Amino acid sequence: MQNALDEAQTIVLLGGTSEIGRAIVDELVSSSTRTLVLACRRPDEAGAERFARDGLNVVVEPFDAAATETHEGFARRLAAEHGDLDVVVLAFGVLGEQTEFDDDPGAAAAAVHVNYTGGVAASLAFAGVMRRQGHGRLVVLSSVAGERVRAANFVYGSSKAGLDAFAQGLGDSLAGTGVQVTVVRPGFVHSRMTRGMKSAPFSTTPRVVAELTVAGMRKGKHTVWTPGILRYVFSVLRHVPRPIFRRLPLG
């Protein structure tokens, strides 16, 4: 359970190799943290030693976002083995190439399944655990790509738009239960996922995303834009006519 200083004792990272997710964990871990669970599809790549320190039990668990039928049992087992789950960070996802998706609808469907269906199943599974324990924080990594979907990555953008809408609704449905949902909307983030891609305006880093996310959580924000200026940029872009939007240099 989180202490009076809002420090989590148990943290779960779904997408245990995600650079943004791990940066958020770096910001969250304190001397009060007793257990960190890194859940990922390839446990041998989790790099648990990165977080090793006295008093912190770092656990690596196999987790497949696409295997949605396993999520509820997984969440229940973690709670049974580690006690109350204070913060769960949902950081898994697939970016993919739009040109590949254009030629392979099956690959597009698989990516959407991970990003959206997997996110829905995992969020509901852990929200159920948190509702029963009466507290907890679910952090869902969305993207500005879902705020106004671009032709350059519309499969990915549409999956994030769906996840973002779902997470907002989930947060509203949990009002009064002691469980909070924080939706994080990063812009272009320099990371392994975007390596080799053309940078977009207001690009940022996993570290900055993490700092703004945790600062927003501690202020009780439901939505965190990273960087914050993107909130105002997209309040304009949302209303730009499509013929003009298509020609904008948005990366």
Q: What pLDDT shows up at residue 216?
A: 95
Active-site choice (51, 74, 116, 156) = 156
Reduce the DSSP state of residue 125 to 3 states and report it. helix
156 is catalytic: yes
Q: Which residue has the higher pLDDT, 13 or 250?
A: 13
Instruction: Identify the weakest region by mean pLDDT among 47-51, 85-89, 197-201.
Output: 197-201
Alpha carbon distance 73, 89 (integer Å) = 18
Predicted TM-score (pTM) of the model is 0.93
Per the structure block, which two tokens stand in for 48?
Answer: 């648990």
Per-residue pLDDT averaged across 106-135, rounded? 97
% of residues, the chain, pLDDT over 90: 86
213 Cβ partners below 8 Å, 6+ apart?
A: 24, 27, 139, 182, 184, 224, 226
Smallest CA-to-CA distance from 58 within 79, 36, 76, 80 is with 36
Tens digits of per-residue pLDDT, 57-81?
A: 999 999 999 999 999 999 999 999 9
Per the structure block, which two tokens stand in for 30?
Answer: 């304190």
Tens digits of per-residue pLDDT, 130-174?
A: 999 999 999 999 999 999 999 989 999 999 999 999 999 999 999
* 35, 111, 243, 244 from 184: Cα distances, Å: 23, 20, 28, 27
239 Cβ partners below 8 Å, 6+ apart?
A: none
Residue 56 sits at the vertex; the CA angle it makes with 51 and 59, to the nearest 5 degrees, is: 70
Q: What pLDDT shows up at residue 191?
A: 83
CB 50 within 8 A of CB 61: no
Q: What pLDDT shows up at residue 194?
A: 83
* 93, 135, 202 from 193: Cα distances, Å: 10, 32, 17
CB 219 within 8 A of CB 202: no
Position 195 confidence tier, pLDDT thresholds 50, 70, 90: confident
CB 63 within 8 A of CB 41: yes
- Mean of per-residue pLDDT scores for the chain: 93
